[in-house]
Amino acid sequence: MPGRYSPKGSLARDWAHPDLARLEEQQMALLRRHLKQKILPFHPHYREKLADLDIDSLRGYPDLQKIPFSSKIDIAPTAENPDRPKSFVLQPDQESIRKVLSPTQKAALMWTAIRHGKDEVRKRLGTEYRPVQAFFTTGRTALPTSFFLSRYDLDILHECGRRMGEVIGISSREDRLVSVFPYAPHLAFWQVHGVGLANEIFTLHTGGGRAMGTDGILRALEKMRPTHLTGIPGYVYHLIRQGIEEGRDLSSIEVIFLGGDRVTVGYREKLASMLKENGSNNPRVISVLGFTESKKCWIECPGGRETGFHTYPDLDLFEVVDPETGEQLPDGTTGELVYTPLDGRGSLILRYRTGDLVDGGMTREPCPACGRTVPRFSSDLSRASNQTDMSLTKIKGTLVNLNVITDLLTDSDRVDEWQVVLSKRNDDPLEVDEMGISVSLCEGQAVDGIEEWLTSRIAEAAEIRPSRVEVIDRAEILERLGMETQLKEKRIVDLRKQAGGGS
């Protein structure tokens, strides 16, 4: 019967321990059903795109290559086509729904109409398909991209929140959660809302420094004594550092789970070390991955960074492909992460190229820490878009991996805060590119020699020498980053397209 989402079938009921010998067969069966019953009948974009696809030929993971990739370019609105995202929303009507219903489903609808009236049937169909909320991307496109969710999708979001809590061991009787994600129509905020609601734990949504202010959040942390804290890595580090410097008692925090940015080894060690010094017993720093187009998030288990993100085999299917050729890569191979939902309503995409490079790829072996047999992918992700072309000479461009530079700055035990600015020499659009790096230093670090040390470290790691390195005080760099004013701090600022405009 149409309406709300509820886990169905053995794969959903015991999502954490699927039978690995049957998993490929089960997931491909779910995909075929999703395509036949939802995508082809109701999806404006894929109804045309997949018109010639033989759905029954999709029997194993290699057959996914018969489905074309999608990416941000396909979905993002443009000035010429501002409504493009709507073509990715399921749009059923009475006739198209009737065509895909099985005899059993038709009988159930008929019985509902007889017993409760036709309005009840329309209400339940509306609950399943009618968009009631939108998430927006925070990328670099000129216009924000909207992804729509029905009540059915919000139920899935909450179910994923319940599973995330299960993975990290949340107990509704004892645990408390504080979120410092900004109030926004973004996935991160609403997924945390789902974690708290589905696991029935007391949750304080602070809205981040922009809403309650860092001082207000620190007072709340001391008063509430939460076991779990969540937010964007940069702001959480700033919050914990300020709290410890002010002598606040943050020792109740046991688990910090972070989303919205890369969580490096050095960052985890810094944060855990600060909490230990403040009295926290064995604090764990855990990474979360989510993107607007998925309408859900995945989390590591507390067993360690090497456990990877634990997926939901009844709800999604992942591949890792060669970022250049698009060819599927075997498990354990570094490549680009590709996502396909196996359930959902509202906005839907297939074989979505995330732009995330997964170092170590996928594994379908049981998790060595928790024993779950779900497919997992490496937590060591980096953005392909952070590999940027820079014109360091007038002759040709050079590909610079900013991920290497940002990891080096984040992991350094000498650097406290940092910002990278890309610009044109003399603010001239015809001149060569320059990279400026601003840093504040950790307490006790000497300024003398830091510029030469950082320049040589960056040159060795990324094969590029920054044009300038400046050491400034923490207050100034926090203001530049917008730590207390922006939804997300401005770590990498690219001014090259603004050259000549007096920026």
Using alpha carbons, select from 268, 267, 269, 220 the residue that is nearest to residue 243.
Answer: 220
For 342-407, strand residue ranges (E) read: 352-358, 362-363, 376-377, 381-383, 387-390, 398-401
Q: Give dist(CA 130, CA 2) in Å, integer.
A: 12
Q: How many CA atoms lie within 13 A of 160 on its CB side?
A: 31
Which range, of 253-262, 296-305, 347-356, 393-402, averages the lowest pLDDT? 393-402
Asked if the model's pLDDT at residue 372 lies above 90, the reply is: yes
Q: What is the pLDDT of residue 141?
A: 44
- Minimal CA–CA distance to 258: which of 238, 235, 288? 288
Residue among 240, 237, 285 at smallest CA distance from 265: 285
Residue 461 has pLDDT above 60, yes or no: yes
**How far apart are alpha carbons 163 and 153 in whole angstroms?**
15
CA dihedral (53, 65, 312, 150) in degrees, to 10, reads -40
- CB neighbour list of residue 133: distance below 8 Å, 6 or more residues apart: 148, 149, 154, 185, 190
Parse the chain into domains and list their residue ranges: 385-498
CB burial readout 462-500, b (16+ within 10 A) else e: bebebbebebeebeebbebbebeeebbbebeeeebeebe
Cross-strand bridge partners of residue 357: 336, 382
Handedness of CA 98, 101, 105, 106 (dihedral sign): positive
d(CA 242, CA 484): 13
- Prediction pTM value: 0.90
**Under a CB-based contact definition with an 8 Å cutoff, are residues 414 and 445 in contact?**
yes
User: Which two three-digit tokens encode residue 367?
Assistant: 């998790």
The confidence score (pLDDT) of residue 118 equals: 75
What is the greatest pairwise CA distance in the chain? 83
Say which CATH superfamily domain 385-498 falls into.
ANL, C-terminal domain (3.30.300.30)
What is the percentage of the chain residues whose pLDDT exceeds 90? Answer: 72
Contacts of 417 (CB under 8 A, 6+ apart): 238, 439, 440, 474, 477, 478, 481
Q: 1, 105 in Cβ contact below 8 A?
A: yes
351: left (phi over 0), alpha (psi -120 to 50) or beta: left
pLDDT at 111 over 80: no
Confidence bin at 179 (pLDDT 50/70/90):
very high
pLDDT tens digits for range 464-478: 899 999 999 999 999
Of residues 333 and 380, more confidence is placed in 333
State the pLDDT confidence band at 137, using cuts at 50, 70 and 90.
confident
| Tokens matching residue 134 | 């939108």
- Is the dihedral angle over the CA atoms 9, 13, 15, 19 positive or is it negative? negative
Averaged over 170-190, what is the pLDDT? 92
Backbone angles phi and psi of 19, in degrees to 5: -75, 110
Please give the average per-residue pLDDT across 211-230, as a whole number.
Answer: 96
Give the three-class secondary structure for 486.
coil
| Minimum mean pLDDT range among 112-121, 233-242, 348-357 | 112-121
Is pLDDT of 503 > 60?
A: no
Pairwise CA distance, residues 94 & 450, whole Å: 68
Give CA–CA dist 359/384, Å, rounded: 12
Residue whose pair of structure tokens reads 């004594």 in the numeric block: 225
Q: SS3 string of 30-98?
A: HHHHHHHHHHHHHCHHHHHHCCCCCHHHCCCHHHHHHCCCECHHHHCCCCCCCCHHHHHECCCCHHHHH
pLDDT at 358 over 60: yes
| Average pLDDT score over residue span 143-155 | 93
Mean pLDDT across the stretch 315-326? 96
Q: Is pLDDT of 44 > 60? A: yes
d(CA 138, CA 82): 17
DSSP designation for 347: B
387-404 confidence digits (pLDDT tens)? 776 676 655 577 888 889
DSSP strands (E only) in 282-361:
284-291, 296-300, 309-310, 316-321, 335-341, 352-358
Helix, strand or coil for residue 416? strand
